[in-house]
Amino acid sequence: MKLVVDASVALKWFFQDRADEADAAAALDILQGHVDGRHQLLQPAHFQAEVCAVLAREAPEAMRDNLRDLLNLSITTRDDELVMWRAMQLSADLGHHLFDTLYHALALETDDAVLITADLAYCRKAAALGRVQPLSTWSVN
């Protein structure tokens, strides 16, 4: 299964022990599926920078270890004209930030890929376009 996870999901991997971190078990299940080879994770070019920006702000004492862990995941990056064009269209059509629509564009432009996000506002806006699923509906194996 090909999955695009946005920063809202990936950050749960690092902040899983926070009491207010909803759906952390689902996010960890997706990560474990990638490690085990059950899922192929895909990312747009800005994914690592977006995750690192939050990690630097909220967990500066663990920045080096967190960066190393993130890079060691070897998530496939796709950054091409089709993805960028679709993201621009989504941003204009939905009135949503391009950085968020890049994740969905990647899922829409990759055969059999689905965006998993904890961003419920985006899910509501984009649900009719398909290939977007709220993290809260992920079935933990």
Segment (H or E) for 5: strand 2-5
Is residue 16 scored above 90 in pLDDT?
Answer: yes
Q: Distance between CA atoms of 115 and 24, rounded to whole angstroms?
A: 17
What are φ and ψ of residue 35, in 5° steps?
-60, -40
Is residue 141 scored above 90 in pLDDT?
Answer: no
pLDDT digits (tens, 9 = 90+) for 74-93: 999 999 999 999 999 999 99
Written out in words, the top-level CATH class of the domain with range 2-133 is alpha beta
Q: What is the mean pLDDT of residues 84-105?
A: 97
Predicted structure pTM score: 0.96
